Structure 1
Amino acid sequence: MTYHDSTGHLLLTPADRDAPARVARLRALGLGERTDPELDAFARRVAETTGTPYAGVNLPGAERQFFAGLHHSPGAPASGYPARVLARDHGWCPHVLVRRRALVLEDVRDFARFAGNAVVDEDGARSYLGAPITDRQGVVLGTVCAVDRVPRRWGNEGLVTIKELAAELVERIHRREDTGLR
């Protein structure tokens, strides 16, 4: 699917054909479009682990993104970003969902496909690190991500870190499901 943002940039946000299954699975898990203090704490841990000012646990619906877990470091510029709710074509998590694999962008401006995104132009995001949260049924529930306002050399270490954090979160979600906690 193709979108244009308010500045006329062409954004190539992939179609999310798995959205109905994800929304149903999130609902069954008692997750989705509500904030969750445990997920906020997890997002804070992601930010601390990656050394970034922003981190989130994104559990998108069919039409928009929702950060059920969100962290904005004290002292980080407050420009309206990050926000609990983002349009589907903002940021890079929708690409992680569809790709079903981690995405490492050391400097988003190096990639024409990602450089014209509203979170770059309006909010100053410059680097992104995200991994899918895939449950035991194979449903991609969302993403774990870290964002910085400066280019970052994530390297293989960053990739391994974000994938480990996503796996840890999946284990927590499975424990909640197994114990009936919502």
Structure 2
Amino acid sequence: MRYDPPRPAGRLLLTPEDKEAPARTRRLRQLGLGERPEPGLDAFAGHLASLTGAPYAMVNFLGEGGQFFAGLHAPDVGLVVKEDGTRPVMGRFLPRDHGFCPHVAVRHKALVLEDVRDYPRFAGNPVVDEFGIHSYLGAPLIDTTGMVLGTVCAADVSPRAWGRSGLETIKAAAVDLTGRLDGPLSGGSLL
């Protein structure tokens, strides 16, 4: 795989440079993560959606080639109708410049966006137009080596006042799941 650093848009760098992507990709391969959907991670994402009340929840691993939702909870059809009358469906893969998880991974800390349109850096993100995502709540999955493997996140098509309880919920979910990821996923439930 080839790693292309992000390109600046004018003076504003929309997607942060991720210098850890090559090492993260190697670490994910060592752990056997980030290359296929995991039923236990889908269940974890469903549980996270229930906890947050969000229609979308993901366990996202970020490698050199982009983002992969090894755990995904999403509606069967998109919640917004695009101008052409279609309803976009969230898949398991997103390019690196889509969404807000790359920001969480580079920052090494949680990100709460109650209305992404309030922030020029985030308002132009492709997931706003493509999927109608207007609010985001995410926290990094930091393993025992200090490496950010990916994120757990929730998103909604409406602005959300996630508040301190939302922040604490997503951070606790990240810590909980990280503890489960340090061992092999085979032969056991993550919940």
Output the TM-score relative to the length of structure 2. Answer: 0.85
What are the superposed Cα offsets for residues 75-100 of structure 1, whole Å, 9 maximum, x if unpaired?
Answer: 76273342200011000000000000
Contact 2:77 2:89 in 1 (8 A): no
- Assess, with a 3 A threshold, how the Cα gap between structure 1 residues 134 and 36 changes in structure 2: closer, same or farther: same
| Aligned match of 1:55 | 57
**How many Å separate the matches in 2 of 1:40 and 1:180?**
15
Contact 2:138 2:170 in 1 (8 A): yes
| Aligned match of 1:2 | 7
Q: Any gaps of 5 or more consecutive residues in structure 1? A: 5-9
Contact 1:53 1:76 in 2 (8 A): no
Contact 1:96 1:130 in 2 (8 A): yes
Question: Aligned AA for 2:184?
Answer: R
Structure 1 segments, 4+ long, off by >6 Å, are: none
Q: Equivalent residues in 2 for 1:79-158 (5 A)?
A: 79-158=87-166
**How many Å separate the matches in 2 of 1:35 and 1:135?**
20
Q: Tell me the number of residue pairs that the alignment of Structure 1 and Structure 2 aligns.
A: 176
| CA-CA distance at 1:2 after TM superposition | 2.7
| Aligned match of 1:30 | 32
Secondary structure of 1:130's match? strand
Q: Equivalent residues in 2 for 1:71-82 (5 A)?
A: 71-73=73-75, 77=79, 79-82=87-90
- Assess, with a 3 A threshold, how the Cα gap between structure 1 residues 130 and 14 changes in structure 2: closer, same or farther: same
Give aligned-pair identity as a percent. Answer: 58
Q: Aligned-residue CA RMSD in angstroms? A: 2.1
**How many Å separate the matches in 2 of 1:49 and 1:20?**
33
| CA-CA distance at 1:176 after TM superposition | 3.2
Question: Aligned AA for 2:47?
Answer: R
Secondary structure of 2:159's match? coil
